[in-house]
Amino acid sequence: AQKITQTQPGMFVQEKEAVTLDCTYDTSDPSYGLFWYKQPSSGEMIFLIYQGSYDQQNATEGRYSLNFQKARKSANLVISASQLGDSAMYFCAMREGPGYQKVTFGIGTKLQVIP
């Protein structure tokens, strides 16, 4: 089974609108971390937001928020007030035990913001 599933290969959003990028995960470890990274066309991987499995509140970082639904094993990224610079690939990722040394990535969603 896929550890991280991103079912949207591509998404379009109008500038200034909000967009939700889907991510579901699979783990039997009670302690895990969920991450979202942005990869613009220049290629670097930029950390956006983190959610811990024991966190009670949904994580927020500026215009990014993570809609964490533990029972459904989903960790959707919400970008509010989209900007042209948000056009990029977005990867959902998970870090789980034992060891927590490796991060497993989804295949990504390509987001294009339309002016």
Minimum gap (Å) between residue 14 Cβ and other proteins: 26
Verify binding: residue 53, other proteins, rule CB under 8 A: yes
Among 14, 15, 45, 69, binds other proteins (CB under 8 A): 45
Stretch that binds other proteins, among 15-23, 42-50, 68-76, 80-88 (CB under 8 A): 42-50
Verify binding: residue 102, other proteins, rule CB under 8 A: yes
Residues 34-55 as b/e (b if ≥16 CB within 10 A, e otherwise) read bbbbbeeeeeeeeebbebebee
Task: Decide: 54 and 38 in contact? Cβ < 8 Å.
Answer: no
